[in-house]
């Protein structure tokens, strides 16, 4: 390829660099035109589509391509162009000459839009994060946020939400997440005053993540309860909100609400978001165990999650059997995994559930058993501990039995028919409520073309519609006559 380029007298930039670079630059220019169209027409969906196309090109971004695109999208010599160019590493002279040649093939924009400028910030920021240059990424994200504060355009809301996310990510990767908490609160206030609901969603989730990162659950709950509420605009942000809410509810011992939030977040999450779904399932498994439920085996056999959920599978098996010694060994074996997942404190709470599960199995198996044997089977320290645990389980309704203190034994009652109780009705009611909720959310998520209700009907379409209505009325009348 290099010999062909040297022999040709005419410049052939498409053959002098790898084939991915010109195509990437061409795609970026098309995305820029799409952003311009969305800005002029005030259609945020076009800018959202531009961001989706950019994520597809993320792995193909190079410093030479970005420098050429900056020359195309921004005015050379402007403050934004100079600042963003300083973040990019210098490439070889040959590559730079080729990129400038390709950029001169199409004249740069005379008046750069704010949307294009913010998009350039976003491109450079994504490139720096992928290259693991976190210090430069922090400086770039801070500069983009300070620029965003001076702009109040609704077409910037989608780009601003992405910048907020990467702004927080840069500081999280460098371990300085607490430094931007006050700035995130100020940005949330600005988004609220500007009625930027997508920005409010994103910033609320970033603030909740900031608080939960430092185990500030009370402050996170106060912020969540006082934040303005509205319908979700982004499915991804709504999934994150449900996940953080589930974690808060778990710490607050509200396991029923936590289970609902975590399972809903796992169901709504995109299939590609494997790491997020794994985290949701880990917390959901712990919450279900704390509720006294045993998750199905299919939960642990989901595609791509078998290895990550293996420690929780062994933990569930120990809880299901009610073996306290096995539970201790599993907790010690995977202590580093549970600590990294921040579920170690919840697993400590499970010890009582393991004892209760073992006690329930004993009450089902034996109609009469001595407390000394109960202590031996549950591997408790003394008979007195067994007596107190059995008394508490009877009081809480975990087992249907009585204590014979004089003889030192537990008397179990006969198990009744579960279908004679209201438990099946409650289970069916919860399933029906879930289906109705899913239907309502699907209806709310329907999209309609803009200004469809304002479009005037042409005379030809009106004639066709009236003719169809007449034929339908005639057909209905004929059917009525046949029935009579």
pLDDT in tens, 109-149: 445 788 888 888 888 888 888 888 888 888 888 888 888 88
Least confident of 63-77, 319-333, 361-375: 361-375
Using N-to-C axis directions, what is the helix angle for 344-365 and 383-396, rounded to 10°?
90
Closest of 361, 401, 395 to residue 378, by C-alpha: 361
Q: How far apart are CA 157 and CA 234, in angstroms?
A: 12
Strand partners, 49: none
CA–CA distance, 370 with 386 (Å, rounded to integer): 10
Does a structural domain hold residue 31? Answer: yes
**Number of CB atoms found within 10 A of residue 309's CB:** 20
Percentage of the chain lying above the pLDDT 70 cut: 83
Do residues 292 and 278 make contact, with C-beta atoms less than 8 angstroms apart?
no
What is the tens place of the pLDDT at every residue in 31-66? 888 888 877 877 778 888 888 888 888 788 888 888
How confident is the model at residue 18, as a pLDDT?
44
Specify if 244 maps to a domain. Answer: no
Tell me the CB-side half-sphere exposure of residue 69, using CA atoms within 13 A: 29
Instruction: Give the Cα-Cα-Cα angle 240, 243, 246 (nearest 5 degrees).
Output: 150
Question: Above 60 in pLDDT, residue 107?
Answer: no
Q: Find which of 220-234, 236-250, 320-334 is predicted with most confidence, using mean pLDDT.
A: 236-250
54 inside domain: yes
What secondary structure does DSSP assign to 8-38, as a single string?
-SS--HHHHS-THHHHHHHHHHHHHHHHHHH
With left for phi above 0 and alpha for psi between -120 and 50, is residue 379 left, alpha or beta? left
Q: What's the average model confidence in pLDDT over 373-384?
A: 75
pLDDT digits (tens, 9 = 90+) for 458-477: 667 777 777 877 777 766 65
313 within some domain = no
| Whether the predicted pLDDT of 392 surpasses 50 | yes
Contact present, 350 and 327 (Cβ < 8 Å): yes
The reply to whether 449 falls in a domain is no
Domain extent at residue 118: 24-89+112-176
The tokens for 12 are 């052939």
Q: Smallest Cα–Cα separation from 15: which of 25, 3, 30, 26?
A: 3
Reported confidence tier of residue 435, pLDDT bands at 50, 70, 90: very high
Residue 176: pLDDT band with limits 50, 70, 90: confident
**Phi, psi values for residue 412, rounded to 5°:** -90, 145
- 243 within a domain of the structure (yes/no): no
Residue 169 in any domain: the answer is yes
User: How many folded domains does the chain comprise?
Assistant: 1
pLDDT at 244: 92
Could you tell me which of 32, 40, 235, 39 has the C-alpha nearest to residue 123?
A: 32
Query: At 404, is the secondary structure helix, strand, or coil?
Result: strand
So what's the pLDDT on residue 20?
Answer: 42
155-159, 208-212, 417-421, 476-480, range with the lowest pLDDT:
476-480
């Amino acid at each position: 390829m290099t010999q062909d380029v040297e022999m040709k007298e005419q410049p052939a930039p498409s053959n002098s660099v790898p084939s991915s670079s010109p195509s990437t630059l061409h795609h970026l220019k098309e995305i820029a035109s799409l952003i311009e169209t969305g800005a002029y027409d005030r259609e945020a969906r076009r800018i959202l589509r531009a961001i989706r196309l950019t994520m597809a090109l993320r792995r193909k971004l190079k410093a030479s391509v970005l420098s050429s695109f900056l020359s195309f999208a921004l005015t050379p010599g402007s403050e934004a162009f100079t600042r963003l160019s300083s973040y990019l590493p210098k490439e070889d002279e040959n590559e730079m000459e080729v990129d400038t040649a390709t950029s001169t093939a199409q004249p740069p924009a005379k008046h750069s839009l704010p949307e294009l400028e913010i998009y350039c910030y976003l491109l450079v920021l994504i490139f720096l994060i992928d290259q693991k240059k976190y210090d430069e990424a922090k400086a770039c994200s801070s500069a983009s946020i300070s620029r965003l504060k001076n702009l109040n355009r609704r077409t910037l809301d989608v780009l601003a939400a992405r910048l907020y996310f990467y702004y927080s990510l840069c500081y999280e990767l460098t371990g300085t997440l607490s430094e931007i908490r006050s700035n995130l609160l100020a940005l949330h206030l600005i988004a609220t005053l500007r009625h930027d609901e997508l920005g409010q969603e994103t910033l609320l989730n970033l603030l909740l993540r900031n608080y939960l990162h430092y185990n500030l659950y009370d402050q996170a709950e106060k912020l969540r309860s006082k934040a303005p509420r509205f319908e979700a605009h982004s499915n991804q942000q709504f999934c994150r909100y449900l996940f953080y809410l589930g974690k808060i509810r778990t710490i607050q011992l509200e396991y029923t609400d936590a289970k609902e939030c975590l399972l809903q977040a796992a169901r709504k999450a995109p299939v590609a978001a494997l790491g997020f779904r794994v985290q949701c399932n880990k917390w959901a498994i712990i919450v279900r165990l704390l509720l006294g439920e045993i998750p199905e085996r299919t939960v642990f056999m989901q595609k791509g999650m078998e290895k990550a959920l293996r420690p929780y599978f062994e933990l569930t098996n120990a809880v299901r059997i009610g073996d306290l010694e096995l539970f201790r060994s599993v907790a010690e074996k995977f202590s580093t995994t549970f600590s990294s997942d921040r579920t170690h404190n919840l697993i400590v709470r499970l010890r009582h559930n393991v004892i209760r599960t073992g006690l329930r199995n004993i009450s089902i198996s034996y109609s009469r058993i001595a407390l000394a044997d109960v202590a031996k089977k549950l591997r408790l320290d003394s008979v007195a501990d067994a007596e107190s645990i059995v008394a508490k389980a009877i009081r809480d309704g975990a087992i249907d039995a009585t204590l014979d203190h004089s003889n030192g034994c537990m008397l179990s009652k006969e198990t009744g028919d579960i279908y004679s109780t209201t438990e099946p009705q409650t289970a069916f009611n919860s399933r029906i409520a879930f289906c109705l909720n899913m239907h309502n959310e699907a209806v709310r998520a329907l999209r309609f073309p803009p200004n469809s209700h304002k479009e005037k009907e042409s005379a030809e379409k009106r004639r066709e519609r009236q003719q169809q209505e007449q034929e339908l009325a005639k057909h209905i009348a004929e059917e009525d006559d046949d029935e009579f």
